[in-house]
Amino acid sequence: MRDDQAKTLGDFLKTRRERLTPESASRRSRTPGLRREEVAERAGIGVDWYVRLEQGRGGRPSRATIDGLARALKLNRTEVNHLRGLAASPERPAFILETPSPALVRVVGALLQPAYLTGRRWDLVYVNPAANELFGGFPDAGGVAANLLAFVLTHPAGKDLFGDGWEEHARRMVAHFRVAYDAWSHDPSFTALVDLLRRDCPPFSTWWKAHDIREASTGVKRMRHPKHGWRSYDYATFQCNEDPALKLTVHNPAPD
């Protein structure tokens, strides 16, 4: 297991442990959440090993250990899958910006609804005309050209797009991105993006430290269209069969 992956796994375990409330209300502790000893006992593993896992020194845990930790930490399905992915720690090549096929670009470009294609790092690899109009052309943010996360979190136009709902939407985006980042934390392209967000988005460091994760979802966004003003949009994200690294996001006007 790479050092960066072991550290990420340890941080994930620590944040989940600190969220749990001790069963004994009489126990007082200077630190939040359960003690490491309690987690180890619940998971059926040695305390010393659990401590090393949190410190990023425990090596690769077995599937049985992961399952025990998932039960002990009361992880939900998304968190269990994420923990298993961290423990698997597959070797990955250097990150290369994705390129959609011409046919995929034509299909997305023909959609009347605002739609765009993003890669693993949330780079915007194609934006259709309707999305360009809605988002104002996605100007560069912090020196990063056409990155959705950098645009929404650091660019004034990205913040104005969501108005009072910006923080809620931004935190949700960070939790979605964290899943991808944990798999690519070794890559300079990903760490450079996180460094930029730390620098140019003051709340980002607090959100990042929480290590929240979410799966891509459907939902409703409230956004300010340059021509039509405030409107609600249903949105959904789809994985592309031709390249699983690419995701298609489509927005459709919803009743207010």
- At 138, is the secondary structure helix, strand, or coil? coil
- Give yes or no for a contact between 221 and 207, defined as CB atoms under 8 angstroms apart: no
Does position 64 have pLDDT exceeding 70, yes or no?
Answer: yes
Instruction: Give the residue-averaged pLDDT of 237-255.
Output: 93
Q: What is the pLDDT of residues 14-60, one digit of tens each?
A: 999 999 987 644 455 556 788 999 999 999 999 999 999 999 888 88
Q: What is the pLDDT of residues 119-164, one digit of tens each?
A: 999 999 999 999 999 988 776 655 566 899 999 999 999 999 999 9
| CATH number among 1.10.260.40, 3.20.20.370, 3.40.250.10, 1.10.10.10, domain 3-88 | 1.10.260.40
The residue that leads in pLDDT, 85 or 170, is 170
Confidence tier at 185 by pLDDT (50, 70, 90):
confident
Strand order of the β-sheet with 124-127 is 124-127, 115-118, 247-254, 229-239, 219-225
Q: What percent of the chain has pLDDT over 90?
A: 71
Q: Which two tokens stand for residue 10?
A: 């340890």
Rounded-to-5 percentages of helix, strand, coil across the chain: 50, 15, 35
Q: Which two tokens stand for residue 79?
A: 């968190």
Does position 236 have pLDDT exceeding 60, yes or no?
Answer: yes
DSSP 8-state symbol, 33: S
DSSP 8-state symbol, 165: G
**pLDDT at residue 217 in the model:** 76
**pLDDT at residue 164 in the model:** 95
- Give yes or no for a contact between 196 and 150, defined as CB atoms under 8 angstroms apart: yes
**pLDDT at residue 90 in the model:** 65
Q: Which residues pair with 248 in a beta bridge?
A: 117, 238
- CATH fold, domain 102-254, is Beta-Lactamase (3.30.450)
The mean pLDDT of the chain is: 89
**pLDDT at residue 26 in the model:** 45
Between helix 63-72 and helix 36-43 the angle, nearest 10°, is: 120
Q: What are the residue boundaries of the structural domains of the chain, listed by start?
A: 3-88, 102-254
Calpha distance 38→177 (Å, rounded): 31
Calpha distance 192→126 (Å, rounded): 22
pTM: 0.86
